[in-house]
Amino acid sequence: MVKFIHTGDLHLGLQFKNVSFNRSIAEKRRIELWDTFERIVNRAIEREVDFLFIAGDLYEEEYFTLGDIKRVRDTLRKAKDINIIITAGNHDTLNINSLYRMIDWPENIKIFDSAGLKKVEYMDSDIHVYGYSWDKGENKENIFNNFGGIDKDKTNILIIHGDILNKESPYLPLDKMYLQDMGFNYIGLGHIHKPIIISNRMAYCGSPEPLDFGEIGEHGIIEGIIEKGNTNIEFIPFSNRSFLEKTIDIDETLGYIDIINRIKQCDKYDNLKQNLYRIKLEGLVHRDIELNIGDIIKSLDDDFYYLDIIDNTIVDYDLNSLEEENQGNIIGHFIKEMKKKNLEDKVVRDALYIGLEALMKGKVEL
């Protein structure tokens, strides 16, 4: 029996320079990446796994220091009874200048080199672990060119950073069918930050801490067991925080307080204090209500850890008086024509209000 944890794409040291949230959150996020890395190592120790696989992008080489790589080593050092496998990706490339090469590593940590696909044998050579590290930021090598296949009497595992979703990818395109046919008991992939279980024998673990609103939803690690040739894996949610997107539908019957309450009720209250929310307001707002998004965000500061609002609402115009005021011009004609259609139909109503919004804005600019 082989027990493992599969992680990757931690991006330790990331500066969060081009993210959609603010600096103070970014500073905390940097620390949280380190905390989560340590939590993963502690989990591996508690669960008494045989292997901890790290499938690339462990750190951001652009910002990482010698002190940082020593911190990585010293964190991993605690897991002295676990075989730790590292394969570098496009953000932590393994070449002559790499921080990986600047320090000595304990015996139980294996960092695969970049000279091609290699094999390491464990547990009286019953377990064959294959891996490969990148040596540059883009990579279209065919690393399986000279691969002779696996020994099917053994348990075979492949850990690699690459792209199985896009054959033209500059990030080590991998042929999913080819990999599946090869007969590995488990293929632990890195690179795609969304966790994807492709089968019980192949998965992207995803980034354990999501890095921005592009990585919404649950993030975590993969735990697995290989026993008598069968592999069982499970995705374990493990991130400290999630990035979440919620859509809130507004209509013209709602007052200001109603709208604020709907925003506050977008999720469980204790989650609001933990996660990062991007809320999209959709629909019609009564013409007397002025939604100042900046003010709303400020007023909800105590309710949310982080709140961003995208206002896609349109104003609910008073059609009769608007038509009267605009007799003879394009706005008047537009309302008159639209009123002949079925205004109960949502599509017609949306067309009317979106059209009006555009025409009214045009009027202001004139």
Binding site for Mn ion (CB under 5 A): 9, 57
Sequence-distant (6+) residues with CB within 8 A of 81 are: 45, 48, 108
Smallest separation, CB 76 to Mn ion (Å): 19
- How many whole angstroms separate alpha carbon 85 and alpha carbon 74? 15
DSSP assignment string, 79-100: -TTSEEEE---SSS--STT-GG
Query: 150: alpha, beta or left, given left = phi > 0 and alpha = psi -120 to 50?
Result: beta
- How many whole angstroms separate alpha carbon 236 and alpha carbon 241? 14
Q: Nearest residue to Mn ion, using CB?
A: 57
Q: Which is nearer to Mn ion, 7 or 155 (CB)?
A: 7
Q: Which is nearer to Mn ion, 61 or 308 (CB)?
A: 61
Q: Which is nearer to Mn ion, 9 or 163 (CB)?
A: 9
Q: Which is nearer to Mn ion, 9 or 50 (CB)?
A: 9
Smallest separation, CB 170 to Mn ion (Å): 14
Smallest separation, CB 161 to Mn ion (Å): 8
Smallest separation, CB 62 to Mn ion (Å): 13
Smallest separation, CB 162 to Mn ion (Å): 11
Q: How do strand 196-199 and strand 202-204 relate by DSSP bridges?
A: antiparallel
Q: Please tell me whether residue 338 adopts helix, strand or coil conformation.
A: helix
CA distances from 129 to 117, 142, 158, 235 (A): 10, 19, 6, 21
DSSP assignment string, 132-191: ---SSS-B---TTTT-----TTSEEEEEEE-BSS-TT-SB-B--HHHHHHHT-SEEEEES
Q: Which is nearer to Mn ion, 134 or 235 (CB)?
A: 134
CB 278 within 8 A of CB 310: yes
Query: 83: alpha, beta or left, given left = phi > 0 and alpha = psi -120 to 50?
Result: beta
- How many whole angstroms separate alpha carbon 360 and alpha carbon 358? 6
Q: Which is nearer to Mn ion, 161 or 278 (CB)?
A: 161
102: Cα within 13 Å, side-chain hemisphere: 14
CA distances from 279 to 68, 190, 266 (A): 36, 30, 8
Query: 355: alpha, beta or left, given left = phi > 0 and alpha = psi -120 to 50?
Result: alpha
- How many whole angstroms separate alpha carbon 154 and alpha carbon 121? 10
Smallest separation, CB 36 to Mn ion (Å): 14
Smallest separation, CB 115 to Mn ion (Å): 22
Smallest separation, CB 192 to Mn ion (Å): 8
Smallest separation, CB 190 to Mn ion (Å): 7
Q: Which is nearer to Mn ion, 150 or 206 (CB)?
A: 206
- How many whole angstroms separate alpha carbon 206 and alpha carbon 239? 11
Q: Which is nearer to Mn ion, 208 or 224 (CB)?
A: 208
Q: Which is nearer to Mn ion, 184 or 204 (CB)?
A: 204
